[in-house]
Structure 1
Amino acid sequence: GHDVGYAFYINLVCTASITFFFYKELKEGFMGEKCSWSECKVLVKKMLGYSWPILVLGIAGILNQTADKILFPYIYEKGDAHAQLGIYGAASKIAMIMAMITQAFRYAYEPFVFGKAKDKDNRQTYASAMKYFVIFTLLAFLVVVGYLDVLRHIIGHDYWDGLKVVPIVMAAEIMMGVYFNLSFWYKLIDKTIWGAYFSGIGCAVLIAINIIFVPKYGYIACAWAGFAGYGTAMLLSYFVGQKKYPINYPVKEIMIYVVLALVLFVGMTEANKYFSTGIACLINTMLILIFAAYLVKKDFPLKSLPFVGKYFRK
């Protein structure tokens, strides 16, 4: 058989190839007249001081996503651990819709943040970005939950028992996205060590909850462990960030959307439980429209849209 290690060698080659394309910049920066040897040493030291905590942060982030699956077979004792883990993994695939949204946002938002770093109104921009990120991820959350009876056909019928973890995993992904939004304060002030602290503590919370509760509650504890881990990192980053790099986030407005989404989520859960798929989808569509209507009224007036906005102006 093929050695799985080849995947790592291929990744190494790909990364080295990407680095090669920066040969000109590296040559000018470290061997050209623009940077003396002593200056280069200072620059390298500064770069490593900035980047190594981000490496730790990244490792902790990967552990947050994979630790439960690694630990589960060793700590679950009530039945076939691998079968239960398969159910959990299959159900989590539906929740990955939120992970894709968050990842797309990250790729677009990070260059934007550093580009705005020197602007006078940058903090207000970050606050607005946070608000709209939460709003639209909550909308995506409601859409997935509302049509879960349809989306469940993505996975096999044997895995439907695990669908109860989908809202929990999606909520955890939203908090991970919020944590990512909050993370820029320590990057902008070159104090990335805080990111390592927050991610490490969040990872420790996740692992502890898995070890304590998985033997009794199974994979549902894995989902709640991720929720608690990301939630811990998010709250720590927010409260410390408000002291180190204050940003006036519209917390009250965001919480109104969160509470509204929770109320609608409860309604959707009940509809999915007591009605047929067709009727439940109809009810859930109306609930989604309630959220959308509130969004349009408060923060996204139709008259502001390009092209079609003129039809809504008085």
Structure 2
Amino acid sequence: MHTHSDRSRESKIPGRLLLSLAKQNGLQGIGICEQDAFPDETLYAHAAKLRLRLALGIEFSCKDSQIIGFGMDFSYTQRKALEKHFALIKKQMDEIVSLFVDRLHVWDSTVNLERVAAFAGKAPHPTFVLQYLVQERRMFPSLLNALQFIADENLDRDMSLADPFHPVEVVDLIHRAGGIAIWAHPMMTPLERQQPLMAKLVAADLDAVEVVYPYRENGYFGTESNEVLQARTLSLTKNVEILFSGGSDCKYPVSPFDGLRPMLPGEYGITSQEADLFGSVFQ
């Protein structure tokens, strides 16, 4: 329930190919949630041809967190407001990437925005900048090494989105649009804010928490294993009646931070029985 097509800035794979890849990988269903972008609803017809259950949604960038919404039916006013918000995020991301590349240019004069964009094949995300350094320039053996260098040199300072949504605000928006809200990869939220945010989200009737998730492969900066982080996520849900979600955060063919082989849809996820608990979000 957590994959991305090329409508997301960090992914390159067209939606129809992602569905075919999911089918080839033996999945019965898949959830595609685009990063601050509306999904391609024509994919429902292609999924039906493949006899693949499909849920389409949005992964909203929020303050210190990400919230995924599935099964939403926005009003005209809601959609127009979101289109404006997503356009603002795109503009900010373009500025962040430009700033990031300028800082890296000081270390390697061959690194420039044109080359990074050509490598990405689209408007680049900071992840593609790191990919360029590792795969094209061979400056680092892995994305984690590149990420460590960026942190050590403080090259990622002042690179967060301005005025993001509050996660509780997004949960309310998703519910008003008739959807379900999932807190994605909670352990990516700063440790001291996890419990307070969980309490606020539960009070807002959060529907699910993403428990099964490959943190190491997706740039988690600590030393804990995926299993330890998943156990900590479960501890957040103690004494709370809430659904469990999961997914790989697949951005095929982009390789993960911890390793070189691209993540495939279905490598991390939930069972078909668990998916049934999410009701009509799958078609």
Task: Give the structure with the higher percent helix.
Answer: 1
Structure with larger Rg: 1
TM-score (norm 1): 0.28
